[in-house]
Chain A
Amino acid sequence: MKLFTLFDEPDLTRRLNSEVSSALIRKAQDHNQVETTLKMKSKALGRLKFIKLHLLHKEFSGHPTHISRMLVASGRYAKRSLKLMKIRFWESQ
C-alpha cells in the first residue's frame, strides 16, 4: 500500500514506502497505543476531569455530544450565546 508520495521520485517513493511498511509491521503491537493510554489514564483522573476529556474526545472524534449546550448552560459561554442571538436577529431581518 502506498502511504505517501515524493513527487518525481518514483523509485525513492517505492523504496521508502516499503521501508515504512516494514517498520509498521514490526511495531504493529504499538498501533493503538494512544487510545489505550488515554483510556488507562482517564481511569486515574478525577471524575469531573474524566467526563470532560471523555466528552471532548467524543466531540472532536466525530461523535458530537452537544457539549456546547452544557457549556452554555454552565454560563461559561454566556457571552458567545448572546452573540448567537444577535446573529439570529440580523438573519431574521
Chain B
Amino acid sequence: MKDEFQQPFRIHQYHYSVSSSDGISYQMFFIQSALAHAGISGSVFATRLNDISSPKAFKLDFEKMWDCDLLLIHHSLGNPSLKQLNHLEIPKALIYHNITPAQFFPHDPTLSALSELGRKQLQILKKDTIAAFTGSKFNFEELKKHLFHQPQLLPLLDIPEDLKEVKKKKQNSKKGAPKNLLFVGCLTPHKNQNQLIKTFYYLKKLLPKHSKLYLVGSQDPVFLSYLNLLIKQLNLNLEIKLTGRVTRKILEQHYEMADAFVCLSKHEGFCIPLVEAMSRQVPVFYLTTPGVKETMGNSGVALHTEDPFEVAQIIYTVLENPKALSAILRSQHRRLIELGREHNVDRVQKVLLKLVKQVRSTPYFQINRRESEQFITA
C-alpha cells in the first residue's frame, strides 16, 4: 500500500518483551501479518526477546526504528524503556493491553512495582501518542478512566470463516472413558489455578478413572512451588499435568483431547484461549469476571460460584448431560460469529490504514503540537 507519491507505508511495533506464546505477542504478529496483506511493511521490536529471534522480532534498536510512518507501542505492565522510546521523534500510537492490578502479586515485588509503573506510564503515553487502541470493551473503559480522549477498539485476533463453521470434534462418547479438563494461561495467582486444582480434587471422585487436568502455560516460580505442593498434598500427582509453555502443535493436541475448558480467572483483559477453545468445539466453564464475560458473551457455562466443591459438581453434571453439551456448543458457535464481526483482518487493516494515511498527510511538527489531544477521530 502506497500513498500518492508511491512511498510504501511502514508501521513498526514495540512491546517490552516478545515471545512465541503470550497474548500480546500473538496480537503483534497478527497485526504485522494483517498489514503485510495490505502491502504495509513493518517489524516487531522488544527490549527483551524470549525464545524468539530475528527476523521474526528484533531487539530494541533506535537506529532501525526511524524509517517508519508510525510506531505502535503495546503497553501492559510497566515498561522501563518507555522514556528512551519517547525520545524517538516519530508518530506513536498506543495499543493498550490490560494491566493486572498489583494486588495479584503480593509475593513478587518486581511484578507489583511493574503493575503500578504501568498505570503511571499511561499518563505519559496519553501525552506522547496520537491515537489509542485496545482489544476489548473492558480495556476501553479503563482507557476512558485514564482520560484518553477517543480510544478505539482494535481486533486482537482473526476469527476466520472456517472456525465459524461447526466442526465435528471427535467426541469421547464411550461411557466410562476418562475426561480431560484443560486451562491455558500463565500460572499466576490471578488466573487462580490453585482453585482449579482444588476443584479437580473433588472431580477425581466423580469422573472416570484416569481423567486428567492439564494446566498449560508459562510459570511464575513462587506460585508454581505453591501449586506443586498443593498437588502433592492432595495426592493428584498422576492426574494433574503442569506442562509449562508448549508449541502451537502441542497446544492444538490439548484442545483436541479436551472434554472441557475451565477458566476460574479472577482477572483478564480479553482471554484468547477461550476463543480458541470455542472454535475447537470444547465446552467452556468460566467465572463471570469482566474480561472473561466480555469474551464469552451469552455462551458456554457461566459459573456463579467459585467454591471448588460446587464447581466440581456442576462440571460433572453438565458433562454427563448430552443435551446440555449440545446447547453449550450451539451457544459458543453463535458467539464465535458475533466475535468474528469485531475481530477480523479487514478491520485491523481499515483502522490502521486510515491512521497512517492521516499521519502521512500531516507534518510531524503539527501532529506533535496537538500534545494530549488524540489525533484521529473514531
Residues of A with Cβ closer than 8 Å to B?
2-9, 12, 16, 19-20, 23-24, 27, 30-34, 37-38, 41-42, 49, 52-53, 56-57, 59-60, 64, 66-68, 71-72, 80-81, 83-84, 86-88, 90-91, 93
Cβ contact within 8 Å between A8 and B314:
no
B251 at the interface (CB under 8 A from A): no
Chain B: CB-nearest residue to A52? B229
Q: A53 to B227, alpha carbons, bound, how many Å?
A: 10
Known interface pairs A7-B299, A37-B234; A84-B113 also in contact (CB < 8 Å):
yes
User: Does B305 belong to the interface (CB within 8 Å)?
Assistant: yes
B107 at the interface (CB under 8 A from A): yes
Closest 7 CB pairs of A and B: A64-B106, A56-B226, A7-B298, A5-B302, A90-B80, A84-B110, A41-B233
Partner of A42, one of B233, B302, B309: B233
* Cβ contact within 8 Å between A9 and B327: yes
Which residue of B is nearest A54, CB measured? B229
- Interface pair B223/A3, CB less than 8 Å apart: no
Are A68 and B107 within 8 A (Cβ)?
yes
Q: Is A2 touching B233 in the complex (CB atoms < 8 A)? A: no
Nearest-Cβ distance from residue B72 to partner chain A, whole angstroms? 22
User: How many B residues face the partner with a CB closer than 8 A?
Assistant: 47
Can you add 15 more A-B contacts, CB < 8 Å, to A41-B233, A59-B226? Answer: A4-B285, A7-B300, A7-B331, A9-B327, A23-B317, A24-B310, A30-B309, A34-B202, A34-B308, A37-B234, A60-B226, A68-B222, A83-B110, A87-B80, A91-B117
CA distance A38 to B78 in the complex (A): 37
Say yes or no: A12-B303 contact (C-beta < 8 A), given A3-B314, A56-B225.
no
Q: Is B321 an interface residue (CB 8 A)?
A: yes
A20-B314 in contact (CB<8A): yes
User: Across the interface, which residues of A come within 8 angstroms of B202, CB to CB?
Assistant: 30, 33-34
User: How does the 8 Å CB contact mask read for B289-319 relative to A, with 1 for contact and 0 for none?
Assistant: 0000000001111111100111001100110
Q: Are A16 and B324 in contact (CB under 8 A)?
A: yes
Taking the closest CB of chain B, its distance from the CB of A81, in whole angstroms, is: 7
Q: What is the bound-complex CA distance between A12 and B16, given in angstroms?
A: 47
Instruction: Known A16-B321, A16-B324, A67-B222; judge A4-B109 contact (CB<8 A).
Output: no
Shortest Cβ distance from B198 into A: residue: A34
